[in-house]
Amino acid sequence: MSEYQTDQRKQLLEKAATLFMTIGIKSVSMDDIAKQLGISKKTIYQYVENKNDLLSSVIHDFTHRYISELNSKRSVASNAIEEMHLIGKHITGHLRDISNATMHDLQKYYRKEWEIIQDLHKKDLFKIIKENLERGQKEGLYRLNLHSEIIAKMYVESSFIIVNENIFPLKIFTREDLIKEFLEYHIHGVVTDKGHKILKQQNT
């Protein structure tokens, strides 16, 4: 693929991601995307087979950038507790950009793509949370008797409850509040007395 084609494909994924996340997936046609980019549908089909293929490519590209950005933010945290708060803020920021229509479409009409998101999320977030737990144990901020692999798996699986509107309808709860409460619930369950003091300082 030439440099021009690489750049054009990047623009395609970025524009499609913006439209999918703000308007919804079913409401966006390939004609809409072509019009926004000022190109023909024929050009789009040089890079993807169909709308589902485009959506899958958008998901993989978005997830890769999301995890890369998250790891960059984690690297500046002074301790494990601060790192978890940075993780929470990063997740909140991205969920804020995704419309309710998009979440609804993914879970109801694009189950294969939703499962891709779940699989990528489980794999990458599990690694991040497990590393955070082990860091906190080394720093004396998290309990030594906790099983990092079990807790990390529990965290990842539980995190999908936040975007389940059957449990937490967005007419009643905001995603920001859900993530905040979930994060605090998790941290308070793993911290030592030393960690609790740091947590209290950060919260004030």
The C-alpha angle 154, 157, 163, rounded to 5 degrees, equals 135
Report d(CA 101, CA 35) in Å as an integer.
Answer: 22
Residue 33 domain-assigned (yes or no): no
Q: Ramachandran region of residue 117, left (φ > 0), alpha (ψ -120 to 50) or beta?
A: alpha
Domain count, the chain: 1
Residue 43 domain-assigned (yes or no): no
Over residues 27-44, the pLDDT tens digits come to 999 999 999 999 999 999
**pLDDT value of residue 204:** 65
Residue 160 domain-assigned (yes or no): yes
Over residues 124-146, the pLDDT tens digits come to 889 999 999 999 999 999 999 99
Q: Angle 111-138/51-74 helices, nearest 10 degrees?
A: 10
* Domain enclosing residue 132, as ranges: 51-203
**pLDDT value of residue 45:** 94
**pLDDT value of residue 166:** 87
Q: Under a CB-based contact definition with an 8 Å cutoff, are residues 107 and 113 in contact?
A: no
| Average pLDDT of the chain to the nearest whole number | 91
User: What's the rounded mean pLDDT across residues 6-32?
Assistant: 93
**pLDDT value of residue 200:** 85
Whichever domain contains 75, its CATH number is 1.10.357.10
Residue 35 domain-assigned (yes or no): no
Residue 14 domain-assigned (yes or no): no
1, pLDDT greater than 80: no
Closest CA to 101 of 156, 21, 33, 9: 21
User: What's the rounded mean pLDDT across residues 16-33?
Assistant: 94
Quote the pTM value.
0.86
**Residue of 89 and 203 predicted with greater confidence:** 89
Q: What is the CA radius of gyration of the chain?
A: 19
Residue 63 domain-assigned (yes or no): yes
- Residue 100 confidence class, pLDDT cut points 50, 70, 90: confident
148, pLDDT greater than 80: yes
What DSSP line would sit under 74-100, residue for residue? HTT-SSHHHHHHHHHHHHHHHHHHS-H
Residue 186 domain-assigned (yes or no): yes
| Coil/strand/helix, residue 38 | coil
**Residue of 137 and 159 predicted with greater confidence:** 137
203, pLDDT greater than 80: no
Closest CA to 60 of 9, 7, 4, 131: 9
Residue 86 domain-assigned (yes or no): yes
